Amino acid sequence: MKITQVRLFQVQGTLEHEGPFWEERLVRPIDLYPEHRVEGPGDYPPPIAEERYRVQSIFLEVETDEELTGLSGPISEVSAFLIDRSLKPNLVGQDPLAVELIWDKLYRHAVHGRKGEMMMAISALDCALWDLRGKWAGAPVYRLLGGPTRNHIPAYASALGYSLEPDRVHQRAQEFVQQGYQATKWFFRHGPASGHEGVERNVELARTLREAVGDDVDIMLDCWMSWDVPYTLHMAERLAEYRPRWIEEPVLPDKIDSYAQIRALSSIPIAGGEHEYTRWGIHALLEAGAVDVLQPDVYWAGGITEMVKICALASAYDIPVIPHGHSVPATAHLIAAQPPALCPILEYLIKWNQVHQFFLKHPVRPEGGFVPLPKGPGLGLELDEGKIEDRREVSWT
């Protein structure tokens, strides 16, 4: 069997959603500058009418001479461009089951793409090959990875984009608990540039969450790379009484020494690695003793082939891997094949998954706070033609 073509196509549809889709945004590193700090949450997907939003997603499909195909996505337009213009020629004619060989060739070809969009493009291709491999074997990907290690996977409710007004936070957090979630993550809106008032608002968020969910539900708090060492240590002191399970991404990802300093002095565990790539980037975090929890994304850090290596590496350091939650179907297969102590829980970004899984016929969604194991061969990705209003191939060659 040989790869004959790699196709990229964009689909478009209409998402119905009551009220504004994005109610609030998280703090960002660029919010250091006042003109950016006042910016709102953005408008993707763009509204086209009241409570109706236009969703556009790009998927990629690997075709073979035996009529088997592999699907992955959604991916960014930049990743699609890189696949079309740079990576695709390295796949055509290759054995699609030789995922290790193909990954190594792509990595060696993209010597300036060890991180960022090029590695995201390689990750998406790798996931498509695993989908194809599962279809070839007639089995879910988690079985090919050695699983399953459990019948269902605990999930936590990741509340990016929800209002941070205390009354709304209290209500939503209680709703998550009623839905069966035993953990929820919320995203700070303020960093060092917001001064004393921002500190108090951040503390108010943690206090509201703990009061809403009680003592037996975990809360996690995400800084999205926007704090610094003194601010994080001060906030850790203020937040400790609310017992967060972790503080996430307190500083920019390249500041590994800062991560390690914070971890050594904070009474609250530190999570990171969402914006890190490949086993080599993760190894640097582990060697520095920088994090208590690793969070690489399957569609960003190198795909399933690389994430298996990352999990093995993390296990040698006794550091759990809880992947970033953009790529839920692929992530569910990976976690299902790993020991529960190593990959204990799945992040479910509630709003993002409405967009990212919008076109899927069988989206992976938590039920009672748990994700059931995906069914069907491969990654279980199949598009729902009933939601596709427009479809077109995209190419830059």
Per-residue pLDDT of the chain (397 residues; tens, 9 = 90+): 999 999 999 999 999 999 899 999 999 999 999 999 999 998 889 999 999 999 999 999 999 999 999 999 999 999 999 999 999 999 999 999 999 999 999 999 999 999 999 999 999 999 999 999 999 999 999 999 998 999 999 999 999 999 999 999 999 999 999 999 999 999 999 999 999 999 999 999 999 999 999 999 999 999 999 999 999 999 999 999 999 999 999 999 999 999 999 999 999 999 999 999 999 999 999 999 999 999 999 999 999 999 999 999 999 999 999 999 989 999 999 999 999 999 999 999 999 999 999 999 999 999 999 999 988 999 999 999 999 999 999 999 8
Q: Do 260 and 163 sit in the same domain of this protein?
A: yes
- State how far the Cα of 119 lies from the Cα of 337, in Å rounded to an integer: 23
**Domain end marker among 138, 170, 190:** 138
pLDDT given for residue 397 in this prediction: 83
pLDDT given for residue 43 in this prediction: 83
Q: Do 118 and 187 sit in the same domain of this protein?
A: no
- Concatenate the DSSP letters of all residues of 208-248 into one string: HHHHHH-SSSEEEEE-TT---HHHHHHHHHHHGGG--SEEE
pLDDT given for residue 208 in this prediction: 98
Q: Do 170 and 260 sit in the same domain of this protein?
A: yes
| Residue 394, domain member (yes or no) | no
Provide the residue range defining the domain that includes 173. 143-372
Taking only Cα atoms into account, the Rg of the chain, rounded to an integer number of angstroms, comes to 21
Query: What is the domain-level CATH number for residue 69?
Result: 3.30.390.10
| Residue 382, domain member (yes or no) | no
| Residue 214, domain member (yes or no) | yes
Q: Do 177 and 192 sit in the same domain of this protein?
A: yes
pLDDT given for residue 279 in this prediction: 98
Cβ pair 284, 292 in contact under 8 A: no
288 backbone dihedrals φ, ψ, rounded to 5°: -80, -5
| Residue 26, domain member (yes or no) | yes
Q: Do 111 and 158 sit in the same domain of this protein?
A: no
- State how far the Cα of 302 lies from the Cα of 279, in Å rounded to an integer: 9
DSSP at 193: G
Give me the sign of the Cα torsion angle 252, 257, 258, 261: positive
Residue 267, number of CB atoms within 10 A of its CB: 10
375 backbone dihedrals φ, ψ, rounded to 5°: -105, 165
**Domain end marker among 84, 107, 138:** 138
pLDDT given for residue 375 in this prediction: 86
- State how far the Cα of 17 lies from the Cα of 15, in Å rounded to an integer: 6
- Concatenate the DSSP letters of all residues of 21-72 into one string: S-------GGGGSHHHHT-----SSPEEETTEEEEEEEEEEEEETTS-EEEE
Which secondary-structure segment (H or E) carries 278? helix 278-287
Q: Do 87 and 169 sit in the same domain of this protein?
A: no
Q: Do 211 and 281 sit in the same domain of this protein?
A: yes
3-state secondary structure of 277: coil
Q: Do 80 and 178 sit in the same domain of this protein?
A: no
The vertex-290 CA angle with 330 and 295, nearest 5°, equals 10
Query: What is the domain-level CATH number for residue 245?
Result: 3.20.20.120
| Residue 185, domain member (yes or no) | yes
Domain count, the chain: 2
Q: Do 158 and 181 sit in the same domain of this protein?
A: yes
Q: Do 213 and 106 sit in the same domain of this protein?
A: no
- Is 324 an active-site residue? yes
Cβ pair 350, 341 in contact under 8 A: no
Catalytic residue among 17, 112, 275, 324: 324
Q: Do 153 and 124 sit in the same domain of this protein?
A: no
Q: Do 45 and 79 sit in the same domain of this protein?
A: yes
- State how far the Cα of 168 lies from the Cα of 157, in Å rounded to an integer: 15
Instruction: Note the pTM of the prediction, 2 decimals.
Output: 0.97
Within 13 Å and on the Cβ side, how many CA atoms surround 190?
18
| Residue 386, domain member (yes or no) | no
- State how far the Cα of 92 lies from the Cα of 179, in Å rounded to an integer: 46
| Residue 356, domain member (yes or no) | yes
- State how far the Cα of 12 lies from the Cα of 46, in Å rounded to an integer: 12
3-state secondary structure of 150: coil
| Residue 234, domain member (yes or no) | yes
No. of helices (H) and no. of strands (E), the chain: 13, 13
Cβ pair 311, 338 in contact under 8 A: yes
Length in residues, the chain: 397
